[in-house]
Structure 1
Amino acid sequence: KMVSAIIKSALRDHAKMILRGQSPDNTAWLCSQYADSAKAILACYRNLKSIITVPTVPDELQDHFRFGDEALSQVVVLYALRILKFLKGKSKYSEEEQRIHDLVVGEYAYKREAGYNVLDARDPENNRDLVFRYGLLKKYIESDLFVTLNKKRDGVAIEQIYYSIAAGVAMIFATVVAFIFQRRFGSVSIPLFVALVVSYMLKDRIKELMRYYFAYKLKFKYFDHKAVVRIKDEEIGWIKEGMDFISPGKIPQEVMNLRNKNNLMGSEFAILDEKIILYRKLVNIDSHKLAENNIYHISGINDIVRFHVNRYTQKMDNPEIPLLKIDEETGDLVTLNCAKTYFLHIVMQVQSEGRSSFHAYKVIVSRNGIQGITFLE
């Protein structure tokens, strides 16, 4: 990852020097250097394949090598195409333009040979998936440069201390009043006074801590909302709903297996650092009351769940991204408008009368809304 990130930064800086056009006299040399350096870097990296392509190296590590290879190939092509666009129409750089052109076409051929997809003007779905995959590769090679934020409330312990002090002040007032009256009507000691104050402070905090404990422990046993189902004013059942964010460690393996079906990359879930929402619905219908309140035979009730994605789409990127590509038939540099999409993975577990079944869907979403839904068998 670090090697790929370093190479990406070096290629980016080299391309910027050319694109800025600040040294016209050196443009030809810089372009030649880019082509030569890119070829040398890719060759050195790919020569390492023979070291890891052995039975003792796990498939997962070999996949990481392939991810790096594909990412480097894409980075080289990305900046080469930008340089090529800059050189277009400048006849004095025709030789350098041809070298950059050959570099890109050579990488297209290598990608196909290695099993990597290439942009295709005749296949929009392939281009859409490639845009998503390029985003994954970018996150993958840059992941070691990221810092991790584990968010939690700050000052929880000191907050409890302050709350205890507040409870103590309240107790002091109450005890002073009791002290005054007891001095007039009965005896009271200073140790008893202190004991009452401290015990009240501890009692108040114990109550709050127990409240937090039970709220956390019982949230999966109880629900957020409850609705009564009626037909003709007759209650025939009820529905309970609840929602919460959960950690990956609490997800059943069967659910994770369904989530990971049809991944564009093996480590997609970890790379994207996906957030998991658990939505629960418990439905109880009295079949006898349901039948009694209808003159026709009713086998059940259709339960429709509506999932609103508008809040997600508002924060998404532009629905189309222009990407440069060389038309290998004509040799022209063309721009393809590729769809920028995101995936929402929905795994449903349906339980009824002791039976359980799973259903998985991948919702394809862009800023323009839902673009498609794929059922994962």
Structure 2
Amino acid sequence: MAIYKEPFVNPETCVAKSLLSETLREVEHLALEIARAQAILDALNAKRDEAVARADRFRAAIVPHKRVPQEVLAEIFAHTVEGMPFTLYFLNVPRLETFSLECDADDIEDPDPDDYKLFEDYLLSTDVFCNAESLRKLRMRHFALFECLEDAPFPWDQLTDLDLSLMEMTTASVVNILKQCTRLVGCSLRTTSPLWHTTMQNQMVLPYLQSMTWVRYDHLDDHILEYLLPLSLRELRIASYFTTGVSSLIQNSRSTLEIFRFESPSVDWEVPLHLEDVLSEMSALVEFETSLKISPSTLEKVSSMTLLPCLEVLKCGVSLDSVDSFIAAIENWLQDETTLQAKLSQVTGLLASAIPESAARHVVRIQDQYGIDFQFQRGSAWHNSPFFRRRIVL
């Protein structure tokens, strides 16, 4: 008769398993507490920002120049602009590499268009930059109503970096500037077109352009992007009502686009038509970001690697009712053995409200299992984020 012996169980192993189970429960509890704390921290930061903004307004209201009559300030400004050639001529122009002009609109109440016109006339007539053979970077911000900046005697053809990101300019003016900037490596632009089309006859070659950011408040689809040939483009950030032309821009570029961000000036967070067609042109894309909500079908194609197969960083808007399906799609993406060839390292979902606790726990489990930076953030308007922050170092 066989004698049954119960398998030996090491008491220390039992204790260790019990402690492990207890510790894992503690980890999950702490993860939930962290999620709650983050929500509280976000709310406190928002309140602090509001308080700082109020303090700035109060501080601005009591500065001494606010008590100076507007007529006196206007006279001072006029004399300052008229005396500007004298001031600029003291610059060491031959060695000047970066030139920055910025007007803080918060310090000007009801600016007179004639003052802007006076300043523009000066820029068009000065010869101070004739000997600026070292100038490579030009930055102009917060100047409105400039009609013909392209006629200013800057050495456009030697600039490598152009920042007009906070200017109010027409698309036609920007196009005329780009035609002269044949050596540009990086540019940041912002345009607001009048209610007529800007037309181009020929393609514009930008052989060295690696990074382009363009916010287009253009309500008419002028197809300007279709005429651009950025032969070295690696980073593209576009905010536009239309996706038309972006595909052509990518096709015209002979380089491999690595970073792409698309936003829409519209208040609607839905992705515009044809964005998926645009993404299909970016087989080597590494980072994709948008505050818009990607459709489930597009996300499925991305997670199955039929779209954006080399993607490493994804940041997009997520509706509250699709949080669970979004998390499931990311988990399926990570579980697929074919994704081992990819290097998905960061996923961020932008939500209009706090993430549900059950979803937060699911995210923590995915983080622990796959070692990925996976998180949800309270979404904000894209123009409040660092849209113009360049990722590629030029």
With the length of structure 1 as denominator, give the TM-score of the two structures. 0.19
From the two aligned structures, give the one with the greater helix fraction.
Answer: 1
Looking at CA atoms only, which structure, 1 or 2, has the larger radius of gyration? 1
